[in-house]
Structure 1
């Protein structure tokens, strides 16, 4: 299984989760097999601006099965789900801690996050 986590920097498992997946400059991709982390890599987001579905398609092309994020709008969640990618929102902290908790089935989620002003931003239009 490959899990994507939007990250604040390129420090991999030591990175903090970005507060909004669509603005993350980095994604930490963590490979998990038999309940163990078997590897990880950090990829830079190729979009300075993104249109609807750009990031889900990008992550799908990298073999992602699950995305764990703090904040994500409903439309983005629907894109991921339509591609068969499981979405977990409300996660916070260091990537390594979130992944360990996810593997253990004990991930603590912030149920109070919402699509606030902080998360609103423009996407390029599909005709751009």
Structure 2
């Protein structure tokens, strides 16, 4: 009888560990320092190539349309934020720090930057996201 209860308790604990291990805890993501970000500023607009991406996406492309008469300079990296319970939270990257090289986006031209999802220290789950470059943000959704 004791062996039977021990087996049931073992199975229950195993199932509990499996379920908690499979879930992502979005509330552990750090709150983004900028809750409001615009998609455009001074003639520069960013948007993602698609409005929705599947959770299996490997690369998210951000298009940068520079309609100003001046060069627009950014870093080489795209960062990601997720909206959790109405608050934008920073999605962590695998790299702890970045050597930021500059990319020049010519006036009156369309250019792009890619975010490799494998560079994230996070598994994408369905929800609202925004890709950020500097102070600009391009919203999109991740769906199953």
Which structure features the higher share of strand residues? 2
Which structure features the higher share of helix residues? 1
TM-score range relative to shorter protein: under 0.3
**TM-score between both structures, scaled by the size of structure 1:** 0.28
Larger Rg computed on CA atoms: 2
**TM-score between both structures, scaled by the size of structure 2:** 0.26
